[in-house]
């Protein structure tokens, strides 16, 4: 095993990852793939494949992404404020929020203030990358690439 790869794996395993899943009754997503259970399984597998340690799973079933008053979303934000989380991972940005104002607040204020890296797995959003515009991808279905 390459020593750089081993060092990266060790670094990743020390970072505490929050998995956040959300499914709104208004999402009109059909089938099993849209379920909270499948989001969780997909993200846990992704974290394992990338060497990240899951510190917590947060899930809001039946809550709209337009509003921030979701119980587990608020619990996750509180854990971020308390320094319990280093990275927030979601299936895609629409699971985090469907409100562009809230997206901007999280991206530009909350996550940087609390030293949180955000990753949206399926839409390629990663605030740990240098490309600042990447965080805008897929907000409300808009692709700025």
Distance in angstroms (rounded) separating the CA atoms of residues 87 and 58: 13
pLDDT digits (tens, 9 = 90+) for 14-69: 799 999 999 987 555 554 445 899 999 999 999 999 999 999 999 999 999 999 99
Does residue 145 form part of some domain?
Answer: no
**Residue 12 located in a structural domain:** yes
Report pLDDT digits (tens) over 96-125. 999 989 988 998 999 999 999 999 999 888
Q: For residue 88, what are the domain limits?
A: 3-17+27-55+64-136
3-state secondary structure at position 103: helix
pLDDT of 76 higher than 60: yes
32 lies in some domain: yes
Tokens 């809230």 belong to 102
* Signed CA dihedral, 56, 62, 63, 64: sign only: positive
Token pair, residue 119, equals: 């990753």
pTM, whole model, 2 decimals?
A: 0.79
Helices (H), the chain: 3-14, 36-49, 71-81, 93-96, 100-105, 111-113
Give the domain CATH number at 127: 3.40.50.1390
- 143 domain residue, yes or no: no
């Amino acid at each position: 095993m390459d020593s750089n790869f081993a060092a990266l794996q060790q670094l990743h395993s020390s970072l505490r990852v929050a998995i956040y899943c959300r499914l709104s009754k208004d999402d009109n997503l059909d089938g099993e793939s849209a379920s909270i259970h499948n989001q969780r399984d997909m993200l846990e597998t992704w974290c394992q494949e990338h060497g990240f340690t899951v510190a917590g799973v947060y899930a809001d079933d039946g809550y709209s992404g337009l509003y921030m008053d979701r119980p587990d979303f608020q619990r996750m934000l509180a854990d971020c404020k308390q320094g319990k989380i280093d990275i927030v991972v979601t299936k895609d940005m629409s699971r985090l929020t469907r409100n562009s104002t809230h997206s901007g607040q999280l991206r530009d204020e909350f996550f940087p203030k609390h030293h949180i890296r955000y990753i949206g797995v399926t839409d390629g959003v990663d605030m740990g990358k240098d490309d600042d515009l990447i965080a805008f991808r897929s907000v409300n279905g808009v692709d700025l690439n």
